[in-house]
Amino acid sequence: MSRRVAAGGVALAALLTAATAGCSSGQSVPGPPAVTVGAAPTSESKLLAHLYSAALGYFGIPTRVHLVPDPVAALDSADVTVAPGLTGELLARFVPHATARADEQVYRSMISALPEGVAAADYTASAQDKPAAAVATATADRWGAKDVAALPGHCAGLSVGVVAGDAHPARVGDCVLPAAREFKDTASLFDALKAAAVTVAWTSTAAPAAPSGVTVLTDRTALIRAENVVPLYRRNVLAEQQVLALNGIAGELDTATLTDMIGQVDKGADPAAVAGAWLAQHPLDH
């Protein structure tokens, strides 16, 4: 027997002895560390965080959701590994005066602006939460249009309302909008709209259905910046399978479902349970 083979046999024996000792002492080999998904304290952020957490868990990847004031800042500081977001908001965060508006354009511009060490998985083309302009149905009938492209033609004399704290565009096309009047909640805002106290009420594509007498204008020409759901993650931390798990959400989620699930969380449902129930009905490996 050569010395090399003998030495190899001794080394293997040592490894087996160590492994046996570990088992006999009750020690277990530690599994991979949990992937931490950051969530802001809002229904939407918590839901999305749990969706991405559930997607990773679906493929056997240990995860935990960590509530933080700013998931993107926590991602940048490596306190979390994954952070949910919206493409337009993220682009505006890194490039405040960016002009991109269409879905793909906003996504690509956002990717180019991400900090070093941060990457983005696929965006969800069918699920977004972007500002939407609503008018009284009588106004839409008078304009003969139900798309936001009609706003610039009626720019003069427009009055605008918004729920306090909600983000909204300052302009639509070449129409610079007046300062918005703030309302305490959506019900008050829509009441004002129907009473003609304001001409335009800002809502969201992921908001519950508007009440009778209110028409939410479409945006077929992308006059309003896209806000598609997208996860950010730390480069060189997630394996390929883990990124593919995040990408799986992009092929399944849509705005109507997002709206419904946010509504459930708003009413007190556990976001982890809501996300888990949805994933059970939309397996990512089919």
Closest by CA position to 48, among listed 58, 57, 60, 40: 40
Average of per-residue pLDDT across 42-47: 98
> Around Cβ 19, how many Cβ atoms within 10 Å?
12
DSSP secondary structure code for residue 153 in this structure? G
Average of per-residue pLDDT across 230-247: 94
Domains for the chain: give ranges and CATH numbers: 35-128+225-281 (3.40.190.10), 131-216 (3.40.190.120)
pLDDT reported for residue 28: 58
pTM value surpassing 0.75: yes
Band (59; pLDDT cuts 50, 70, 90): confident
Digit-coded pLDDT (tens) for 186-207: 999 999 999 999 999 999 999 9
DSSP, collapsed to helix, strand or coil, labels residue 238 as coil
Band (71; pLDDT cuts 50, 70, 90): very high
Percent pLDDT > 70 in the chain is 88
Average of per-residue pLDDT across 153-165: 96
Closest by CA position to 223, among listed 161, 154, 170: 170
Dist CA 177 CA 198 (whole Å): 12
pLDDT, greater one: 136 or 285: 136
With a CB cutoff of 8 Å and minimum separation 6, the contacts of 254 are: 126, 127
pLDDT reported for residue 19: 38
With a CB cutoff of 8 Å and minimum separation 6, the contacts of 144 are: none
